[in-house]
Amino acid sequence: MSSQSNYHYPDALGHFGKYGGRFIPETLYAPLTELENFYRKIKDTPEFLSELEFYHKEFTGRPTPLTFAENLTKHYGKAAVYFKREDLCHTGAHKINNAIGQILIAIKMGKKRIIAETGAGQHGTAVATVCAKFGLNCTVYMGEKDIQRQAPNVARMKLLGASVVPVTSGSKTLKDATNEAIRDWVTHADNTHYIIGSAVGPHPYPMMVRDFQSVIGTETKEQLQQITGKLPDYILACVGGGSNAIGIFYPFITDESVRMIGIEAAGEGTETKKHAATLGKGSDGIFHGMRTYLIQDDKGQVIEPHSVSAGLDYPGVGPEHSYLHDIKRVQYVSATDKEALAAVKTISRTEGIIPALETAHALAYLEKLLPETKSGEIVVVNMSGRGDKDLATIMNELHIE
């Protein structure tokens, strides 16, 4: 796994600056420490790395291509645009990179049962997939509202043999599904591993998920080097919890010439209450076991965010993004529902790739960025997932007949 020469986060207690850490009931201290110690012990061993590489090659479909977006590049006549094709991973998104890594850890730790939370169902599907492959019992917590909104993924998880538990507490969406998964883990940590779906939660999760997702950035660097002999000038990725973004950013953090931009969901607009722009509009808080930016009201109660994309609909954000935001290493901007939907149509028709609604937020930003770029510059967009799961929403919103 890649390491940075002068960027050493998190620290021993899991802090990224003041963010991250462990804000948890004492009951979880032991399982989290056990996980952290185990993970640190094996993560860089040749055996583990070759096993991970083997399954990535045989099962995930790695390395994923770095595709030159020729038509789009010609259209703007400025920087060259490349897509890192995580949409071509098995199950259709980058989520499987983390699911495979974590299930290998879980198996080595002797865990028999896997739990996960899911919002749009992409992470749930990835976890159900690896559980089927490695023969582990799988329970996925999903908000009742999301179950209704994401029927195809619910069907996929069930077909793969997972049990999908509807969550009816709180706002019945991703944040509550995460609460329920943590509650399950508090009760069953002795035989159960919790595969968290993004670079969020208590230490060591943000670090571990980042490490497993950083294969995206590592491959991008090598591929672009081969094609152009250069580093990219810009890297774009959408940010919900932020796992695909940290995965592509991390290996470039110390390459100072690389400008990195994270795109959050502005929903109906950041001037309205219906958005999911945690870094743009949120404030310092403590949530899901970590200190991070949080969308909350003036009493410190967590507010349910809004985005047309269920995968960006999260009131928190990975603590490393909070840190990168504060030190201004990454610039965080946002794209609205409308802009994302328009980008889905544009990219489908110019490049022959139907992106996920989440990914479309990053793609939407190209329209603002590209006119500002210069010919000869390079922009890489993390194509984090494919849009098949969103077809019903897309067709409905775009009124395509």
Partner 1 sequence: MSKINLQSYIEEKNSKGEKVLSIFLTAGYPDKENFIQLALGVLESGADMLELGVPFSDPLADGPVIQASSTQAIKNGVTLNDVFAFCTEIKKRTQKPVVIMSYLNPLFHYGAEKFNEGYKKCGADGLIIPDIIPDEQPQFDEFKITSEELAAFAAPTTSPERMRYIDERKWSFLYYVGMLGTTGQSGAYSDEQIAKIGEAYSKIKNNKMLVGFGISGPDDIKKIRNHCDGVIVGSLIIKKLAEHPGKFEPVYSLIAALKNALHNEKMKNEPA
Indicate the residue among 19 and 365 with the shorter CB distance to partner 1. 19
Going residue by residue from 176 to 215, which x/- string records binding to partner 1, judged by CB under 8 A?
x--x--xx--xxxx--------------------------
- Residue 164, beta-bridge partner list: 140
- Let me know how long the chain is: 401
Classify 217 as helix, strand or coil.
helix
Q: How far is the CB of 11 from partner 1 (least distance, A)?
A: 12
- Residue closer to partner 1 by CB (options 27, 71) is 27
| Spatial separation of the C-alpha atoms in residues 206 and 10, rounded to whole Å | 9
Which of 47, 301, 374, 399 is close enough to bind partner 1 by CB under 8 A? 301
Among positions 30, 49, 159, 398, the unique one binding partner 1 when judged by CB under 8 A: 30
User: Is 109 near partner 1 (CB under 8 A)?
Assistant: no
What single letter denotes the amino acid at residue 372?
Answer: E
- The 302-331 site mask, x for binding partner 1 (CB under 8 A), equals x-----------------------------
- Judge residue 91's burial from the number of C-beta atoms within 10 Å of its C-beta, 0-12 exposed, 13-18 middle, 19 or more buried: buried
Residue 31 found at the interface with partner 1 (CB under 8 A): yes
Contacts of 250 (CB under 8 A, 6+ apart): 2, 4, 210, 213, 214, 217
State in angstroms the smallest separation of the CB of 27 from partner 1. 4
- Least distance from partner 1 to the Cβ atom of residue 298, Å: 8
Residue of the chain from 7, 11, 25, 349 that contacts partner 1 (CB under 8 A): 25
Least Cα distance to 107 among 204, 212, 191, 49 occurs for: 191
Q: Which residue's CB is nearer to partner 1, number 326 or number 377?
A: 326
**Among residues 9, 10, 16, 22, which is the contact residue for partner 1, using CB under 8 A?**
22
- What is residue 345's three-state secondary structure? helix
Q: Counting contacts by CB under 8 A, is residue 300 touching partner 1?
A: yes
- Does residue 252 touch partner 1 according to CB under 8 A? no
We find the least distance from the C-beta atom of residue 300 to partner 1, in angstroms, to be 3
Piece of the chain touching partner 1 by CB under 8 A; list 22-30, 111-119, 137-145, 319-327: 22-30
Binding region for partner 1 (CB under 8 A) out of 89-97, 119-127, 133-141, 173-181 = 173-181
Orientation angle between helical segments 122-134 and 151-159, nearest 10 degrees = 10
Element (H, E) at 113: strand 113-118
Q: What spatial distance separates the first Cα and last Cα of the chain, rounded to whole Å?
A: 46
Candidates 111, 175, 306, 386; binder of partner 1 (CB under 8 A) is: 175
Question: Which of helix, strand or coil describes residue 84?
Answer: strand
Identify which of residues 16 and 82 has a Cβ nearer to partner 1 in the complex. 16
Give the torsion through C-alpha atoms of 198, 62, 309, 81, to 10 deg: 120
Interaction of residue 10 with partner 1, rule CB under 8 A:
no
Assess 299 for contact with partner 1 (CB under 8 A).
yes
The Cα 35–Cα 159 span in angstroms is 30
Q: Which two tokens mark 116? A: 């996960």
Please say which residue, 31 or 267, places its beta carbon nearer to partner 1: 31
Decide: helix, strand or coil at residue 136. Answer: coil
**Measured from the CB atom, is 179 or 331 closer to partner 1?**
179
Nearer to partner 1, 174 or 381 (CB): 174
Distance CA 295, CA 316 (A): 7
Work out which of 1, 23, 107, 259 binds partner 1, going by CB under 8 A. 23
- One DSSP character per residue, 238-303 reads E-SS-HHHHHHHGGGTT-TT-EEEEEEEEET-TTSS--B-HHHH-EEEEETTEEEEE-B-TTSPBP
Strands of 137-143's sheet, edge to edge?
163-167, 137-143, 113-118, 192-194
Tell me the number of residues near partner 1 by CB under 8 A.
39
Residues forming the active site:
95, 117, 384
Which of 8, 13, 229, 256 binds partner 1 (CB under 8 A)? It is 13
Site residues for partner 1, 257-296, by CB under 8 A, read: 283-289, 291, 294, 296
Residues that bind partner 1 (CB under 8 A): 13, 18, 21-31, 169-170, 175-176, 179, 182-183, 186-189, 283-289, 291, 294, 296, 298-302
